[in-house]
Amino acid sequence: MGNVATSEVHAAVDRAAAQLLDAAGPDGIVSRKDIRTKLLALEGKERELVDSLYRFVDRRDGKRSARMTRRDIDEALAYIRKELVDRFDLDNNGLSEDEVARMSELGKLAVSLARTLKDVTGNKGESIDQQLKTLASGGIYFDNCFGTESAVDVAFFQAEGTLSQVTPDTFRSALKLKDGPQEEIVRFEPAEQALQAIARTYWDDPDLEEDDKRTAAQARQLVDLMKTHLRDVHAVVLGRNDPELVGSNHPLYIVGLDSAGSLMGLKTYVIWT
């Protein structure tokens, strides 16, 4: 088994941290109840790493099981990257089997998830952006979500950057959005609802043609790929809901961060007349 790049291990830890943040309530605090609910929705190596990361962050606080904030998680991530991952890459050529064997349990879980994520890329070595671009070009549409009044095809979207998280401010900066009603962010939320709307393409039609069956499978594959390889995925709708002022087509971005910190995902539209 070949060496594992530390950047890939960082991405696995960042993905687990994003799951912790996604578990937080409206107050931005991750409670024990929040993490128990989140773990029920996860499986396999990702579940193990998220659980281990939560416990690690919790132990760093002098008051065990105190409320966990974004700052707590960010501080723990900085320590993990430096002390539990990078420090073991002695020759700066990726983590070898011997180096991994000396890592902490959390570090080993991060390496394991990194390898899993790399293994499931599929498509014979194609990069994630290539895979998303291919899958998004197959007649998949967005509908029955966010009050849209019509189905609209999705398209691949990418904006280069080195972001650490997706927030309204980092999104505005990455897309160089201007002030004004046309580019006003009117909806910003975790992307699960939007992704499920895409995954449900044709799913409730019992009389699918073969082409539609392939499209339905492709939609689910697209969503799975985004969930597996992108972190901090959000849905963002632009444009004030005023048809006379901005029209009825509102750009919808369903985007997360790749391992380098670039925005990547899908662009489509919601129709509000």
Where in the chain are all domains bearing CATH 3.40.1460.10? 125-271
Where in the chain are all domains bearing CATH 1.10.238? 6-119
6-119 carries CATH number 1.10.238: yes
Q: Which residues of 158-168 are buried (b: 16+ CB within 10 A; e: fewer)?
A: bbebebebbee
Instruction: List, for residues 132-147, the tens digit of each pLDDT value.
Output: 999 998 789 999 999 9
Q: What is the CA radius of gyration of the chain?
A: 20
What the block records as the tokens of 55 is 């416990």
Instruction: List, for residues 171-193, the tens digit of each pLDDT value.
Output: 999 999 999 999 999 999 999 99
Residues 95 and 9: beta-carbon distance below 8 Å = yes
97 contacts: CB under 8 Å, gap ≥ 6: 1
The dihedral formed by the CA atoms of 162, 165, 166 and 167, expressed in degrees to the nearest 10: -110
SS3 (DSSP) at 16: helix
d(C-alpha 268, C-alpha 265), whole Å: 10
Question: What number is the average pLDDT over the span 114-119?
Answer: 77
Q: The domain 125-271: what is its CATH number?
A: 3.40.1460.10
Instruction: List, for residues 203-224, the tens digit of each pLDDT value.
Output: 555 666 777 778 888 898 898 8
